[in-house]
Every structure is written in C-alpha cells, then in structure tokens.
Structure 1
Amino acid sequence: MHHQPSLLSRELTRGVTAAALADFRDRVRRPAYLATLAAAVLLGYVAVPDSGAHWVILQLGDYRGRYNSAYVGTATALAGGLWISLGGFYLTRNSLERDRSSGVGRLLAATPLRTPAYLAGKFLGNLLLLTSMLVALAATALVMQLARGESATVDPLALCRPYALLALPMVALTAALALLFESLPLLRTGLGNVVWFGSWLALATGGQGPGLPLGGTGVNAVVESLRDAAVAQHLPVSGEFSLGLTLLDAPLTPFPWPGFTPTPAYTLGRLAVLLLALALAVLPALWFPRFDPARRRADPSGPAPQAPSPEPRTPELRTILTPHQQQLCAPPRRRPGPSPHPPAAAGFPPLGRLYAGELGILLQGTPWWWYAGAALLALAGFAAPLPGTLRVLLPLAWIWPILLWSRLGTQGHEHRADTLLAACPAPGLRLLAEWAAGATLAALAGAAPLVRMLAAADLPGAAAWTAGALFIPSLALALGTLSRTHRLFQALYLPLWYTVATGLPLFDYMGALHTAAHFPGPHPALTLAVAAALLGVAAVARRRPSA
C-alpha cells in the first residue's frame, strides 16, 4: 500500500501529459500553425533590423546594443513576449470549445481524469504551442545575429536566457488567461477578446516599471542593465527606454552590452509568475464541470446540450438563412407539364432581398444597449467640434461594431449551413449582399463625422471616410471567410484601430488624422484598392470546399 501515492502521482502526470500532447498535436496539424511560425520568424527579422534601418524594437535614447547574443536574445525575447502574448491569446482560447463541439468533452467526462488535471493538461497544451513559437523565434534570432555581422561570437546561454526569464512567463500567463476567459460565460464571447486587448495594453505599458508585484514583466532589470552599461561607457543618454516598434528619423548608435545578470530574487519572481499562471489555469475547476451531463446546469461555460432530434440541423439553418434563402435552397416541387422558365433562371435571387436578409442576420440578437451606445456616439459626433469629431469620435464609432463585423464570413460555418448555402443560386450576389450589410453598418455608425465633413466642404476627408467604410467590411469578410472564426478579425482589427486611435498615421485607413494639406497615412485610393483586393480574396475563399 505504501506505493499507492506514487502510483496515483504517475497516473495523474500521465493524464495531464497525454491531454497536453493530444491538444498540441491536434493544433500543429492545422495550416494556421504554419502561419504562426511564419509570423514568429517575421517578428525576429523586425526585432533585429539592419544597422541603417529607420525602425527599432528596443532602444535607450539614441542608442541600442550591439548585435551580440545578449542583445539579440533580449530584444527578440521581449518582442516575442509582448506580441506572441497578444496573438497567442486569440490562437489558444478555443481549447474548451473544440472539446465541446467535437464531442470529445463528453468522452472525457466518463474517464477518471479529474477536472484540475484536465485544465492543467489544456494549459500545458496551450503553453507548448506558444513555446514552439518562442523556439522558432530564438532560432531566427541566432540567424539574424550572424546575418547582421556585428558579432560572430555565439553565446547560447546569453541568447536563450532572456527567453526563459522574460518571454516564457509572459506567454504562460497568456495561456492560462485564455483558458480562464473561456471558462467564464461573459468573457468566453467576443467581448472577452476586446477585454483581453485592453488588459494586454495595460500589462505591456504598465508592467515595465520598478516595484511591481512579481517584478511585472521583468523588463525593468533590462532597462537598469542597459543604462548602467551606457553610463559606464560615458555615453550621453538623454532619451528614455522604449520597447515596441518605433519609427526613427536616423539610425541608432550601437554600443557593447554584455546582457543582464539576474539576481536570485529576480529569478524567483519569474518562477512565481509561472506558478501564478498554473494557479489561474486550474482555478476554473471550482465551477467548470468538465462536460459532465449530470452537472451541466452548473456549467457557466456553455449551453446545456439539447436532446437529439430527427433533424438536428434544421433549427440552426433557420437561424442563419432568411426565409427567402430557405425558399431558394428548398428542393424544387415537381409539376406536370413543361417548365415555363429555363432551370438556370428559376429562383434567381433579387439583390435587394438578399441584402435585407444579410443585414438582418448581421444585426440578429444585438442587445438594446448596443443601439443606445451607438446613438450616444452619433449625438456626440454632431455636437463636438469637427477636429475632435474626426480625431476621437470617428475611431470610437468604428470600434463600437467590432463584434458585429466579426460575424461576416463566419456564420454559415458556425451554424453548419455553409454546404447548403454553397448550393444556392448566385453565390456571388450573396457574398456582395453580406459585404454590403457590413458596409451599411460602418456607414450608420460613422454617419455623424461624414455629415460634419460634408457640411465643412472637407471632400478629402469624406473620400477617406468612404474608403474606410468600405475597407472594414472587406477586411472582416476576407478574414472571416478564410478562418471561419470571429477571432482572427478581432485580433487583427484591434491593433490596427489602436494605431489610429493613438495618433500613428501609418495605417490611418479612416482618415481620422488627415489635414487639409495632405494625408499622413495611406491615400484613400490605396485603401480602396486594398478593400477591393480583400473582397476578391473573400470571393475566392468562398469557392473552396467546406470542411
């Protein structure tokens, strides 16, 4: 009997490991995994630019570290910790949903695997996925160090240590919070994706200061080490430390930096972040029933399963198809005698009725408070001065419908109606109607700034507004059709919108930062061209066979 505790421990470890590896192997087989690895490689290139480049990720005033193993490892690890934690949340936050929708969760509920062990396995699977991106980034960092040629000496410890101390705790926290958000009824929706972006911003900007619990993101030790090395070399450092993509007027001056040496207290703080992540991951065991039918009423993470019916997909199809589309896709009734119309012309859908149906689908289930918020933003747009309307209220108006836009291109797959819809007449018209519904939503949400610009004879601003109103639904429809999920549009649109809201003109797709003299961002013609290209991508992707 004295061997029983060790036997139980081995069985528990085996169950957690098996759940993690199964989840990881399922994810790496998907094409999206290759895209994430490619993104990690691209991030490594951006973090270690050429010596004459006019952008930087990590700087101290007008200086940066020489491209040795310590600096390259630290710069890429910090960039990976920040940006992989942002995108990794959207990549990993469907762990529970996949088990629920595939039926695997019901099978797991019949196994001896306990809920904390199941959640620990899911957390470990998320962490393995994000860590594999860090491994690809570290390999890219090594290649970039040798390619840049400022230091040919490779120090594996100096290169990899920042990943273990800086990047790994950040992505572990992301893996745990993705699981925690998915277990809560409110945050498991699209609102959770928006909340995460705000939380990530607060962590990225506020987690770099000294004196924070558990050392914050751990960046402060890097800042102090860089500053001490610059002072020891008598460099006139006048600017502040900056972490993130920054555009430069002139290339930075490199200086030797041997890297930072972590203290025991610093290392314990990083370990504490990992333990905190594990605790957050298993915390939902207090309320998550692990798909047990006997406890489904207490499951806040999803609806209770319904009893099977002879036609289980019929209610789902009726929620996604308009009555006119149901009529189009219904089997034709045979009548005696010759048909008065040729088969190709029979049932050809009117664009107006398709548009009305798609607009109704897009707005279906929208709560009253959403309309109240949109109305308040419109009133503020009419009342505020014109510069403030463009600079502040137009970005606010075009972030408010983000959860509705993210439905474009996804609802047919979500409601298992994509195969049936693909057999309906005129799929191109249906795609155009869905896109027009999204453009109408953009026009209605941002109507107040447009009226103000037209009243002030600001025709360039109106042109930029028009391009933005057409670009947003094109982006949403293309990303939704390609990914068949809401998350991709939400993950990409939020940072894109944030650059405009904070005054960065590089991606000003809505013209909020334009002046009477010029457009500091892309010209409206370029935005329209990108919108047309995205609409073409959606049309091509819509023709692919349904999985």
Structure 2
Amino acid sequence: MGITLFLGYALIPAASDGYEVFYIKGVRGIYNSYWLGAMVAMLSTMLLWLFGFYMLRSKISEDQRLKMGQIIASTPIRNLQYISSRAFSNFCVFMIIELVLVVAFMGMQLLRGEDLHINLAAYFLPLLFVSIPSLLLLSAFTVLFDVFPGLKGAVGNVLFFVIWIFLSVMSISNSNSLWDVFGINAIQTDMTKEAAAHFDFISANEVGGSIGYYPIEGRTPTFEWSGVDWNSHLLTSRLIWILAALSIVLLASQLFHRFAVSKTPFTVKLPVQDKMNKVVEREERKSYQLSPVKKDKRVRLFRLVKAELRIMIKGMSFWWYLLVLGSMMISLLVPLAQIISWLPALMLWPLAIWSQMGNREFYYSTNELLLSSCPRLYKFFSVWIAGILVTLLISSGVLIHFFLEGEFTYIYSWAVGSFFVPTLALTLGTLTRSRKLFEVLYMLLWYLGPVNDIPYLNFLGIPTGHSALYIMLTFVLLGVGILIQYVREWNLLAGSKNNTQMNQPTKGEYHGKLEK
C-alpha cells in the first residue's frame, strides 16, 4: 500500500519537477479526470501484472507447505470451487490496490491544481473497461502457474516475465484491440488524435505516447483531452479476455491434484497379521546406512561451503544439467562476437539456485536446527561463497574463452557481475525470508540492463562497463546482510533471556513447590 501511494505521487509530476512519465511527442494532457483516469488504468495494470503476480502466485503451494492442504482436501469443497475462490480472492487484492491508486490519483489531481473538477465516470470507466478484465486474467494466471506441472518455481517466473513482455509490446504497438490487454493502444491512439488537433507537428496516424522516465527542460506543452469513447467494439474485446480468464480457471481446476502426496522411497508396508496375531507375511525392510556423526570443536567453513554446494544443486532436473553443460560447450566453440550477444541468456540458468539463497531454511522450517549447529555468520558466508562458486562454475566456459582471447577486461566485468547477483539474492532472501522479491527485481534488472543495455543497469558491464558501481553495491549489500544477521542474533538472545525470566518461579512459588 505504501508503494502504491508513492506511485500515485511519483507518476503525476508537477510542471516544475523536470520529468514526465507519459507524454506524446513532447506534449501531454492537462491533469484532468480523463487524463488521470486513463493513466491509472494503463500504468496500474502493467505494474500489477508484473509485481502482483509474484506477490500472489504461490498461495496454493503455501497451503500445501503449511499442511493446510490435507484439511482442505478432506472437506466437501470441489476443485473448481477451491481454485475459483483462490483466483477471486487474488482479484479482490488487486482491486483493493487499484482502488487505492485511483483515490491517490484523485488527490494528485487536486494537488496539482490544473483542473479541480473530479469526474467519477472518467475514473471508473477505464477501471471497468481496462483494469477489471485485465486483472481477472492476471488472477487466473496466478492459480494456473501454481498448479501447472513444472511452473511452480523459477521456470514459471521466467515464463511469466516473457508473457508480460510480449503482452506489453502487443498492447503498445499492435492496433488490434484483441491483444490490447493493458488498454494502452486504445487510450494512446485517442490521445494522439487529440494532440494532433492541437499541435501541427504531430500526425494523427503515427503511434504516439511513451511510458517511462523522460527528463525535460522547461514546461511541457499541454492540451485538454476529453477521454476515450468506450464503445461496444472495445467492450467486446474486453469480454473476450474475461472469457479467457474463466477458461484458465477451469483448466487450473482440472490440473489441480487436490494436495495429493506422492509416495516416498522410505514408505514401508506393515506386515499383515491374522486373527491369532501372528504374522502371515513378513516383508524385509530396507536398511538405510546413515553417515556417522563426527564431533568437531570448531566450525570449518570449507565443509559448510561444500555442504551448501551439494544442497544448492540437489534436485535439479537432468535437463538443467544438460543445458548447463551445453552452454559451457557453446561458450568455448562460438566466436567472441556471438558470445557477447547471448551472454544475458547464460545469466538465467542459475536463477533457481540464486532465489533460494538466504530463505531456504525458513521455507523448510529448519532455521533453528541449522543455527544450533553453527554460528549465524558462518552460515551466511558459506551460502554466499557457494552461490558465487555456482555462478562461476556455470559461466566457466565464457571465462575460459575470454582468457584465451586475452579479453581480461571482460573477465573482470563478468566476475563483478558474478559476485553482485549472488550477494543481491542472499541479502534480499535474508531480509524478506522469501524468494519472490529477488526474482521479480532480478528479472526486471536483467531485462533492462544486460538485454536492453540501459546505462548503469547493465550489471555484467559488457560492453558498457559500470563495474565500479556494482563493486560498491556488492559491498553495501553484503554489509546490509551481515547487519541483518547481527540484529536477528541480538533479537534471538533477547527473546531467550525474556522467556527465561518469565518462566523463572518467584521465591514464594519455589517454596510452595518444595512443600508439595
């Protein structure tokens, strides 16, 4: 909610702020209800599709992890009813955020003072035609990706990010309203026609309107826009997306396994007994030899790093190992110019490993068990070193090729990125005890930086080179992560001390217990 209110302020800059978020060929509309109502519909749906999906996508998996799935499975609720209720509850959360943002834009209209008349229809018609169908489709995706086999983890996150990029491009550049999920094309086309009527240097036929951060000098020319004519053709395209959302929910209900638990290899059948309590069938039980426990007076960091490495790569599928091996071979064989063009794809392979750093023990509820075995900082640094080693191992083919070509500047830049990303993952995972924040921020940073080569966002530093910035950020993130460890250690000790004092009996209680 705090971020939503901040966006309501930041997306409506004053004329003297020196930047614009949405304007057409150097001009923008007056901040009236029509302009701001259209902006809140476009921008909020795009942002909620990205951040809202990662925030609410794993609610069904959370029911299973918290052992609520067995209770739900034993009730008479049907699969379709459970999945649709999950999707609708996510939709309600999205709509609450959307309504808060609408109210914030109304307040910003009064604060900017360019038009003090609040037209409720101008705010709620884009909400009805754009936001509600789009957010219904998003809610359906949150449950589909949570029950579809293979899409619960990092693979699903990457796939949804690709879908978001595709729909954003289609909504901006495609004139067909059927693909205009975010309502951008319908709104900006009408805005461009109105702007062309006021300014001769703008053509009504060209695609106008840009969303982003645009520094400007002086005051931006403005014009008055009277809103989109929400006709039956636009309504038909919106109804198609609503039907698509309902179809996705129906598909998710068919894929839902109702929290069925697969049998583990440790399942042992009990021997069958007859009426005389004698064993009829005796099945030999498999014996499992566990490794012996060795007591050591000091903690060895090398052994912790080795254990973390084994845990990180454990559970990866055969295809993941095959892709990593193939990327190493390709990095050694292809020319240097082609390697640089596809380097960003290589930085997606370890995403599933990075995202579990700092939060795995909280996810599996083994935090107290691990902290009783070694100090918190030893655990922190062992995870950090293991994450860096995995990154360097996966990109070893690239590093060897750079070394053979004598490109030591590229080796330095790649090493900086290999240290920065695991540090970012570990700090965010430790701070939030979840993998969601890192995954969404990293995908956004990866798309804007290495893929589109936006200055200061390319953490790989190839070919632009901002290594000094990311070295500094790495040390800052590492310091924040260590500080979090110290704060939690202090809170843990303080909580244990308070519990001891509360449970300690008073003198009278102690004598009373002795008498009893």
* TM-score (structure 2 length as normaliser): 0.81
From 224, 235, 246, the counterpart of 1:278: 246
* Aligned-pair CA distance for 1:459: 5.5
Aligned-residue sequence identity (percent) comes to 24
Letter in 2 for 1:348: R
Paired residue secondary structure (1:244): strand
Deviation string 1:448-496 (CA, Å, 9 cap, x unpaired) is 4445555666665444333321111111112222333333321221111
Which of these residues, 196, 200, 211, is aligned with residue 244 of structure 1?
Answer: 211
Q: Which of 179, 184, 187 lines up with 1:222 in the alignment? A: 187
Match in the other structure for 1:255: 223
DSSP 3-state at the match of 1:523: helix
CA separation of 1:511 and 1:530: change in aligned 2, threshold 3 A: farther
The structure 2 residue matched to 1:428, chosen from 373, 377, 381, is: 377
Distance 1:216-1:76 versus aligned 2 partners, 3 A rule: closer
1:120 match: 84
Residue deviations 1:279-317, cap 9 Å, x none?
A: 3223323242534xxxx3xxxxx64699999xxxxxxxx
Is the Cα contact below 8 Å between 1:158 and 1:259 reproduced in 2?
yes
Does 2:298 align with 1:348? yes
State the match for 2:129 in structure 1.
165
1:423-444: CA deviation from partner (whole Å, max 9, x where unpaired): 2232211210110000112222
Unmatched runs of 5 consecutive residues or more in structure 2 = 269-289, 496-516
TM-superposed CA distance for 1:47, in Å, is 2.1
Q: 1:97 to 1:545 in 2, by over 3 A?
A: farther
More displaced 10-residue stretch of structure 1: 534-543 or 43-52: 534-543
- Alignment-mate amino acid for residue 368 of structure 1: F
Q: Is the 8 A contact 1:453 1:459 kept in 2?
A: yes
Note the 1:344-383 alignment, pairs <5 A. Answer: 347-383=297-333
Q: How does 1:413-492 map to 2 (within 5 A)?
A: 413-451=362-400, 461-492=410-441
Query: What is the RMSD computed on CA atoms of the aligned residues?
Result: 3.1
- For the pair 1:95 / 2:59, whether they are aligned, the reply is yes
8 Å CA contact 1:67–1:150 kept in 2: the answer is yes
1:225 is paired with a residue of what secondary structure?
Answer: helix
Query: Hey, what does 1:408 align to over in structure 2?
Result: 357
CA distance, structure 2, for counterparts of residue 127 and residue 354 of structure 1: 43
Could you say what secondary structure the match of 1:381 adopts? Answer: helix
Partner of 1:104 in structure 2? 68
Q: Counterparts of 1:379 and 1:290 in 2: how far apart (Å)?
A: 42
Task: Report matched runs for 1:134-153 at 5 Å.
Answer: 134-153=98-117
* Aligned: 1:499 with 2:473: no
CA distance in 1, matches of 2:409, 2:253: 56
**Could you tell me which amino acid in structure 2 is paired with residue 266 of structure 1?**
L
Give the superposition deviation at 1:205: 1.0
What are the ranges of 5 or more consecutive residues in structure 1 without an aligned counterpart? Answer: 1-36, 297-301, 310-321, 329-345
1:106 Cα deviation (Å)?
Answer: 2.6
> Out of 124, 139, 145, which is 1:181 matched to?
145
The structure with the largest alpha-carbon Rg is 2
Helix, strand or coil for the counterpart of 2:22?
strand
- The question of whether the paired residues in 2 share the 8 Å contact of 1:214 and 1:272 is answered with no
| C-alpha distance 125-308 of structure 1, shift in aligned 2 (>3 A) | farther
Q: Which residue of 2 aligns with 1:532?
A: 478
Asked if the contact 2:140/2:248 (under 8 Å) is kept, the reply is yes
Paired letter, 1:400? W
Residues 53 and 385 of structure 1: is their aligned pair in 2 closer, same or farther, counting only changes over 3 Å? Answer: farther
Change (3 A) 1:111 1:499: same
Counterpart for residue 154 of structure 1: 118
| Cα displacement string for residues 162-197 of structure 1 (whole angstroms, at most 9, x for unaligned residues) | 223222222221111110111112112321111111
1:504–1:384 distance in 2 versus 1, CA, 3 Å: farther
| 1:491-521 superposed Cα distances (whole Å, 9 cap, x missing partner) | 2211111111112123122212426xxx4x8
With over 3 angstroms needed to count, the CA separation of the structure-2 counterparts of 1:215 and 1:460, relative to structure 1, is closer
Other-structure match for 1:314: none
2:339 matched to 1:389? yes
1:290 pairs, out of 248, 258, 277, with 258
Instruction: Give the secondary-structure state (helix, strand or coil) at the position aligned to 2:441.
Output: helix
Moved more, 94-103 or 80-89: 94-103
- List per-residue Cα deviations over 1:230-285 (Å, max 9, x = no partner): 12223412674344324446574332212212012212432442343233223323
Question: Which moves more between the two structures, 64-73 or 251-260?
Answer: 251-260
Matched with 2:348 is: 399
**Following the alignment from structure 2 to structure 1, what is the Cα–Cα distance between the partners of residues 14 and 397?**
45
Residue type of the alignment partner of 1:375: L
For residues 348-389 of structure 1, what are the alpha-carbon distances to aligned partners after superposition, in whole Å with 9 as ceiling and x for unaligned? 211111111111111112233323322333344344554553
